[in-house]
Chain A
Amino acid sequence: MAILPITSVSSATKEMASWRTSKPVIEYSKCTRCEICWKFCPDVAIDLVIDPDLKSPSDRFKTLEAPVIDYNHCKGCGICAAECPFGAIEMVREEV
């Protein structure tokens, strides 16, 4: 028998976008799919997706999973942009 929690309504059903003042934008032509941004996101707001339509530095990266920002949950901390070794992520100011 499993241990039953009192509640299991996922916090992922909440919207966190209003916490943000700037948002990360990935320039896929620079992204080597190293997944370092995914690894360091404190909000689990980067999904890994295979999408051959996304740009990449060369065709051999197209079959790999690419990071895609989940703007419903990203709080705009900027860690992904700071840690990307290829300078592929830029923080862009958002107006309210």
Chain B
Amino acid sequence: MPLSIPREEYMLPGHTACAGCGAALSMRYVLKGMGPKSALAIPACCWSIIPGEFPYTALKIPMLQTPFAAAAAAISGLREGLDAQGKEDYNVLAFAGDGGTADIGLQGLSAAMERGHNVLYVMYDNEAYMNTGIQRSGSTPFGAWTTTTPVGLKRNYKRENKKFVADLMIAQNVPYVATATIAYPEDLSRKVAVAKSIKGPKFIQILSPCPPGWFFNSADTVKISRLAVESKVFPLYESKNGKFALYKPAKTASISDYLSLQGRFGHLREEEVRLIEEAVEKRWSSLLEKEQN
């Protein structure tokens, strides 16, 4: 069979991600799209330890470890430094978690995008601070259990809504903004290829299911990613030079199909699930409206 995604691997076996890690698949597909002439910055997050302990590396391209808040600043400097040396043909990218993007890294990200460097910022979104033991982030969805939004006798699940960083990037007029997830590798590698073809700042947010953090069986990583799209919980879209396109899944799923596979939502009652359904529908309509305008 002809392969549907590039054959060459730039992420190697022997990395230290958990079995079934969605963030590992995200990296695998992103690097397939970026190719060998790339340089990467990773802030503190699961992916800062996944490449392995010294002297090992699971990445075939050079990687710079940065402080938690500094991924976007680091790629700005990497880009300008490489350009100054005449290495404009290198792709520069950041690969950062949702905590490092939606929370502590947000001002750095916004500033780098505003300055207009020719870089790609990838946010792999596992919807909490996983590397430090599942604390809530701004990108954790409403209703989720985390260790800092615990559910016991008191039901202190996350009450705030997810902050969609890709939406913020569109509001900031970043030339290319896309959302993606690992159940759709062809779509993901295509979006990376489009990003690569554009000179200027680019942002891609990739929903990356996390078996230990979301409490599901590691075999279900791809299934949950697919259900996130089919239930419209995580809409796939693309915004290129202000033109917005929303992917309408051919097959639809209910939100309970998505939630019920994950222990982090196990405590939710019917009326709480309904609140989530309403919020998802509302966001979907507003995205449809954005597409029509």
Contact = CB atoms under 8 A, between A and B. Distances in A.
Interface of A: 1, 3-5, 7-16, 19-20, 33-35, 38-40, 42-45, 64-65, 70, 72-73, 75-79, 81-83, 91
Given A16-B14, A81-B219, A42 B20 contact: yes
18 contacts: A3-B39, A3-B82, A5-B61, A8-B57, A11-B13, A12-B58, A35-B1, A40-B222, A42-B17, A42-B221, A44-B9, A44-B11, A45-B13, A73-B13, A73-B14, A77-B19, A78-B217, A82-B219
A44 B7 CA distance: 11
Contacts of B4: 35, 39
A4 B62 contact: yes
Interface residues of B, number: 44
Interface string B224-254: 0000000000000000000000000000000
Nearest to A8: B57
Nearest to A13: B14
A77 B56 CA distance: 23
A40 to B, nearest CB: 5
Given A33-B1, A42-B21, A82-B222, 10 more contacts: A3-B90, A5-B61, A11-B51, A39-B3, A40-B222, A43-B19, A44-B12, A76-B19, A77-B20, A83-B223
A42 B60 CA distance: 16
B43 to A, nearest CB: 18
B136 to A, nearest CB: 24
Interface of B: 1, 3-5, 9, 11-22, 24-25, 28, 39, 51-52, 54-58, 61-63, 82, 87, 90, 182, 185, 211, 217-223
Nearest to A4: B62
Contacts of B17: 42-43
A85 B3 CA distance: 16
> Taking chain A's interface residues, is the majority helix, strand, or loop, or is none over half, making it mixed?
loop
Interface pairs A-B: 5 shortest CB-CB: A78-B219, A11-B14, A77-B20, A73-B13, A75-B19
Contacts of A44: 9, 11-13, 28
B13 to A, nearest CB: 4
Contacts of A45: 13
B56 A14 contact: yes
Nearest to B82: A3
A57 B219 CA distance: 25
A35 B28 CA distance: 16
Contact of A14 (B9, B11, B52, B219): B52
Contacts of B1: 33-35, 64-65
A62 B214 CA distance: 40
Nearest to A45: B13
B90 to A, nearest CB: 7
A13 B249 CA distance: 41
Contacts of B217: 78
